[in-house]
């Protein structure tokens, strides 16, 4: 059984405890975990992200290596798959849009499975597609919602998203008992559930478990730790939202300070976010930027319309087919081979 997930789980727990214990009264590391670490994490994220993207953009792509999932334009009686094998820039834009927004290639992903011990079958992995959509859209929603801590006044679209996301409330209203929770943000719960599903998939499916490394589990546990600590702070622990916003606004305005009332749980939550940011450019999470620069997705499939030549090929004299036929036309006709021009058609 793959034990790599235990290494990642223990690492995340240790990171959480380091920040939580280090910011308790007497330890005096609030400045480190509240100011120094977040700034360093953002610098690592921005520099690392930019360096990876610039490196990819400078990579030579001399050949058309577009992933083809349909017919390329050729003879008139063949219908072209204009999205799956685009030959125009507009087709590439449509393909990239569907790939980024709808995960179209993942929707069409299949998994091989033996049926009755002898028959190989291909099954759509719809649950993986649904889980991936839920994970990414929930993550995006959570990130946008948290802009309220870094902006003043809060943009209208953030407030609108919060109202839509927190449409469900849990309240008990009786004369004897009146209690409840603030508006339940569905994105946080969906994010946690989707990350847990992706973790279970890596553990329970033998093929996926075999190729899973500790680096595959680490970001999942980081995200689950961030989601769990955030949910706990919102619904169960009492945290000073005003003090937290004062801290975050101080970070973005470059006037950092540690106000009174910010507890160790928030510093641990912030530390996990900082670790995720710093780890991001060096992990598989960089597919966020890589998907836009993937030559298998962002290139046109027009090799039957345009001849693409390797730009650094050594210059050699090319013997074209027309020249070849001019040299051997009579012999080709005698041998019964088809030719473009019959001998009598020559001028």
Summarize pLDDT for 86-119 with one digit per residue, the tens.
Answer: 988 999 999 999 999 999 888 888 877 777 777 8
Q: With a cut of 60, say whether residue 178 has pLDDT above it.
A: no
Q: Check residue 3 and give its pLDDT.
A: 75
Confidence of residue 82 (pLDDT cuts 50, 70, 90): confident
Q: Check residue 150 and give its pLDDT.
A: 94
| Residues with Cβ within 8 Å of residue 51, at least 6 apart in sequence | 281
Residues forming beta bridges with residue 178, ordered by sequence position: 173
Give the C-alpha separation, 144 to 136, whole Å.
12
Give the C-alpha separation, 140 to 187, whole Å.
9
3-state secondary structure of 261: coil
pLDDT in tens, 227-268: 999 999 988 888 889 999 999 999 999 999 999 888 899 999
CB atoms within 10 A of CB 284: 12
Q: Check residue 188 and give its pLDDT.
A: 93
Give the C-alpha separation, 240 to 246, whole Å.
10
Nearest by Cα to 88 from 60, 58, 66, 56: 66
What percent of the chain is predicted at pLDDT more than 70? 93
Place of tokens 């998203």: 161
Does 1-301 carry CATH code 1.20.950.20?
yes
Q: With a cut of 80, say whether residue 78 has pLDDT above it.
A: yes
Place of tokens 């603030």: 182
Residues forming beta bridges with residue 173, ordered by sequence position: 178
211, 169 contact by CB (below 8 A): no
Give the C-alpha separation, 140 to 155, whole Å.
16
pLDDT in tens, 279-298: 999 999 999 999 998 888 88
3-state secondary structure of 103: coil
Which DSSP state fits 254?
T
pLDDT in tens, 195-205: 999 999 999 98
Domain ranges within the chain, ordered by starting residue: 1-301, 315-341
Nearest by Cα to 136 from 191, 192, 215, 197: 191
Instruction: Tell how strand 110-115 and strand 178-184 pair up.
Output: unpaired
């Amino acid at each position: 059984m793959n034990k790599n997930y235990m290494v990642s789980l223990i690492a995340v727990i240790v990171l959480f405890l380091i920040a939580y214990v280090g910011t308790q009264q007497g330890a005096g590391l609030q400045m480190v975990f509240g100011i120094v670490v977040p700034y360093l994490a953002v610098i690592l994220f921005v520099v690392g992200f930019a360096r990876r993207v610039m490196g990819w953009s400078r990579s030579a792509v001399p050949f058309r290596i577009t992933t083809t999932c349909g017919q390329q334009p050729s003879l008139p009686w063949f219908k072209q798959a204009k999205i799956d094998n685009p030959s125009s820039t507009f087709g590439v834009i449509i393909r990239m849009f569907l790939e980024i927004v709808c995960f179209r290639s993942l929707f069409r992903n299949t998994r091989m499975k033996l049926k009755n011990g002898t028959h190989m079958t291909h099954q759509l992995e719809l649950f993986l597609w649904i889980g991936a959509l839920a994970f990414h859209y929930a993550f995006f929603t959570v990130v946008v919602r948290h802009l309220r801590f870094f902006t003043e006044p809060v943009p209208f679209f953030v407030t609108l998203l919060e109202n839509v996301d927190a449409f469900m409330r849990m309240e008990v209203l009786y004369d004897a008992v009146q209690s409840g929770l603030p508006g339940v943000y569905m994105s946080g719960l969906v994010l946690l559930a989707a990350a847990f599903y992706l973790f279970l998939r890596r553990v329970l499916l033998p093929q996926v478990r075999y190729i899973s490394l500790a680096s595959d589990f680490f970001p999942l546990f980081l995200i689950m730790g961030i989601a769990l600590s955030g949910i706990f702070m919102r619904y169960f622990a009492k945290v000073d939202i005003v003090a937290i916003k004062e801290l975050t606004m101080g970070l973005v305005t470059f006037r950092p300070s540690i106000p009174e009332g910010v507890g160790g749980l928030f510093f641990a939550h912030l530390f996990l976010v900082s670790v995720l940011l710093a780890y991001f450019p060096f992990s598989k999470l960089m597919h966020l930027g890589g998907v836009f620069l993937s030559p298998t997705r962002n290139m046109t499939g027009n090799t039957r319309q345009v001849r693409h030549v390797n730009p650094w090929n050594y210059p050699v004299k090319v013997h074209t087919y027309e020249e070849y036929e001019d040299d051997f036309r009579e012999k080709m006709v005698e041998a019964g081979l088809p030719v473009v021009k019959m001998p009598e058609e020559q001028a």
